[in-house]
Amino acid sequence: MHRLLLLVFTAGALAGQPPATDLWARGYAVIPTPQRVTLGAGEIPFDSTWTLVADGLQPDHIAIRSLQSGLRQFHRLMLHGGAGGKVLRLAVRKGTVNTGADADIHPQGYRLTVNEGGITITGNGDAGLLYGVQTFLQLLKPENGSLHAPLVSIEDWPRLQLRFLHWDTKHHQDRIETLKRYLDWAVRFKVNMIGFELEDKFAYPSTPGAGAPGAFTTAELRELVRYGLERFIQIVPVIQSPAHMSYVLKHPQYAHLRADGNNYQIDLCNEESYELIFRMYDDVIEATPGVSYFFVSTDEVYYAGIGPRCGRPYNEKNRSLAWAEFAIRAQAHLAAKGRRMLAWLEYPLLDEHLELIPSSVIDGVIGESSFIPIENRKGMRQLAYVSLQGAEFLFPDHLPLTSDLADTASPGVNDVFEFERGQSEGRLHATYRQLSQGKFWKANPIGVFGAAWGDSGLHNETFWLGWAAAARYGWHPGTPTPEQHLAEFIRVFYGTDTVNLAGAYRLMQRQARAWQRAWDRIVSRTRGPGYGNSDGKGIGTTRYDQTLTPPALPQLPNLDFRPGFIGQYRRLLESLPARSMENDRLIHTLQENLGHASRNHYNLEVMLGLASFTGHHWRLLTALAGAERSFERARDAMLRNNPREAMNQLVTAYNNAGEAEREGESSYRSLVTIFEKSQFPKGQTVSGREFFQALDDVKDHWAGRTADLGYMFAPERSIGLAKWRQDLRAVIEEFGKLHQIPIQGLAERRLEE
């Protein structure tokens, strides 16, 4: 049934769409797709007998190092200089490719020619040469123990000047070596901008306490920036302000700057707020030398101009004016520091106050369609914003899914878990559509922003398929189809020998969505409502938790029992055989590909950890349903006056639930171990300084619910299995005394074992 539905979707998705690109039709994967490709009829072998000639380039030029590193890492091949043999020539020559594009785009162009006489990669500038090298490395195709490249002529350049990937570190902190690896892969997809949402993961020298324990120092951030700039990637700081500032305002020493008493937004009617924000800006500017841009965020500034210090009435117009005044002052401050400002231009800004915003500001989102003609008249530029992740748990909705998941939801599941509006098509298809025919093209975009929000705590490794799509469609909008992108991404990112990884992505997504929908959603017993949202203070801000109600326990003396678990979760339980088989298939495919993939094994390890985590949940539900059936059999045994059989059933339920509890703790610990290979421990304590936990007052971020990674396991812990089993043991012990039956076979292994 599921396979049939996927086939139907695939056929429908391909109907009326463009054919495969010429390179892909010949079996060559290149991301992004080049602008101009002229393919010859054959191909040539490439091996270590080729000679590398770098015309006028220093030996340590990044294009040379990237070429040699890629050949060594992916193909165990090393080229040497000197004379003789066929030549691979690298050079930089201005004007090699007539891009017809803006002056800032022109240096990113390159020409790559492969013919019987040799291979030449020439860039309009150093960046263009590096991009040409990436294309060549992707073109090399292993076949029968040797490498081949097609006879081809490529002229290529980006459609959009700035191609941003979003690193959101609100709820985790990647290790430096992890981020360097991400930069290496970003340049392979011709990314040249990183929007680094630092929040408290930078140790602001001017603002003690704002940086979390272990936050990156100025020296560490400088090191990362240098590494990026060497690869023509600017790491652009994204500093949450003046809203989403709980990472600062939660601390007592800054409590007096809270707007209207909440730690979500800073008081824009207090000059000290501006002084603090601009000091933080200056700290980050000092740590990011060589970067030309600065993203001030202005994300969800719902209550600009609110608070007792504000002299103007708080209304729609004054709220917008306060927003604009902040943006104007921030732009002036950053311009004096040599930075061009980017911001989310959105609610509550009104059209009339958009007129006040300096034209040099880059609009990162185009919050209202009515902004477009105003920005066009003012000569403002924009980013084509696409969302690669939002509220999904465990794994993004990269791909369209069949509708059967809705039929397996438990009755307690609320519409908060439905796909985001407009995302049922899958985020890849939405990105493709938006960057090929979206509203951005009515404006004058300067770049693309591939947003991957960390609100739900997803591991960054789960974002690469989407990140590559944003980079690809920012370089060459509308080409190719999302289906081809998925296939090419797997080839480029994992190597040529993988087995059905596209299927694994679909199964991973299905498992994550099924897991997310398999919980009751109840009003939180521990967390009060949030401050508010765009509809107003206190509106729609009830906080919810995920949980399940375990089976009721039998009652002494006769084990009277009223079943409820199986009936309450009937649809969910009926889906378990299919979900478990699906999970087995997923784990098998991922394990198999750990042996087949030639690169990015850690990415597969993360997916495998998530697959095991979801697979445990199906076994937990099976164990709980089995416990209820055991209780029914125990009751029936007592009706037949067979207390020994009843005791056996009680012990079976106890042991099976205990095994599920231990497996749950083990799967969670394993996931933490996997995550912490690339990330620092979430909410870590460093040099005796503990992480100060405080919830965001507007958005109910799943990942913000606990200081550590425990938010992932919080739904299962909320069931209270340990207490439930303790109470069941008390029933067993009392039942044994009543009927003078010795208790045998209770499994009491420690969780650590």
pLDDT at 84 over 80: no
Interstrand relation of 445-452 and 520-523 (parallel, antiparallel or unpaired): unpaired
Q: Tens digit of pLDDT for each residue in 370-385?
A: 999 999 999 999 999 9
In this prediction, residue 16 carries a pLDDT of: 63
Task: Give the list of residues 6+ apart from residue 503 with CB closer than 8 angstroms, or none.
Answer: 589
Q: Tens digit of pLDDT for each residue in 491-508?
A: 999 999 999 999 999 999
Give the least confident one: 198-207, 406-415, 418-427, 578-587.
Answer: 406-415
pLDDT at 411 over 70: no
In the DSSP assignment, the letter for residue 603 is: H
pLDDT at 8 over 60: no
Tokens of 258: 């809270």
Which residues on adjacent β-strands are paired with residue 80?
51
Q: Tens digit of pLDDT for each residue in 311-341?
A: 999 999 999 999 999 999 999 999 999 999 9
Q: Is it true that the peptide bond before 550 is cis, omega within 30 degrees of 0?
A: no
Average model confidence (pLDDT) across the chain:
92
**CB burial class (10 A; 0-12, 13-18, 19+) of residue 87?**
middle
Task: Give the list of residues 6+ apart from residue 370 with CB closer than 8 angstroms, or none.
Answer: 351
Angstrom distance (rounded) from CA 298 to CA 347: 10
pLDDT band at 421 (very low <50, low <70, confident <90, very high): very low
pLDDT at 10 over 60: no
pLDDT at 574 over 70: yes
pTM over 0.85: yes
pLDDT at 530 over 90: no
Tell me the average pLDDT across 740-752. Answer: 73
Angstrom distance (rounded) from CA 615 to CA 591: 14
Size of the chain in residues: 753
pLDDT band at 698 (very low <50, low <70, confident <90, very high): low
In this prediction, residue 406 carries a pLDDT of: 45
Q: Can you name the CATH fold of 162-516?
A: TIM Barrel (3.20.20)
Q: Tens digit of pLDDT for each residue in 89-136?
A: 999 999 999 998 889 999 999 999 999 999 999 999 999 999 999 999
Q: Can you name the CATH fold of 31-156?
A: Chitobiase; domain 2 (3.30.379)
pLDDT band at 17 (very low <50, low <70, confident <90, very high): confident
- Cα 475 to Cα 190, 586, 719: the distances in Å are 8, 33, 48
In this prediction, residue 310 carries a pLDDT of: 93
pLDDT at 287 over 90: yes
pLDDT at 527 over 90: no
In this prediction, residue 85 carries a pLDDT of: 79
- Helical H runs in 231-315? 246-249, 271-287
In this prediction, residue 528 carries a pLDDT of: 80
Q: Does residue 694 contact residue 263 with C-beta atoms inside 8 Å? A: yes
Q: Tens digit of pLDDT for each residue in 699-718?
A: 678 898 899 999 999 999 99
Share of the chain above pLDDT 70, in %: 93
pLDDT at 31 over 50: yes
Q: Tens digit of pLDDT for each residue in 237-284?
A: 999 999 999 999 999 999 999 999 888 999 999 999 999 999 999 999
pLDDT at 601 over 80: yes
Nearest CA to 344 out of 390, 298, 294 is that of 298
Q: Do domains 31-156 and 162-516 have the same CATH topology?
A: no
In this prediction, residue 409 carries a pLDDT of: 42
In this prediction, residue 689 carries a pLDDT of: 95
Give residue 205's identity as a one-letter amino acid code. P
Q: How do the domains of the chain map onto residue ranges? A: 31-156, 162-516, 560-680+695-739
In this prediction, residue 624 carries a pLDDT of: 98
Q: Which long-range contacts (CB under 8 A, 24 or more apart) does 640-647 make?
A: 643/735, 643/739, 643/741, 644/741, 646/559, 646/735, 647/732, 647/735, 647/736, 647/739, 647/741, 647/743
In this prediction, residue 749 carries a pLDDT of: 53
Q: Tens digit of pLDDT for each residue in 602-647?
A: 999 999 999 999 999 999 999 999 999 999 999 999 999 999 999 9
In this prediction, residue 445 carries a pLDDT of: 97
Task: Give the list of residues 6+ apart from residue 393 with CB closer than 8 angstroms, or none.
Answer: 456, 458, 512, 515, 516, 702
Q: Does residue 165 contact residue 471 with C-beta atoms inside 8 Å? A: yes
pLDDT at 422 over 80: no
Q: Tens digit of pLDDT for each residue in 474-485?
A: 999 999 999 999
Nearest CA to 652 out of 678, 633, 676, 679 is that of 633
Q: Residue 605, SS3?
A: helix
Tell me the average pLDDT across 399-412. Answer: 57
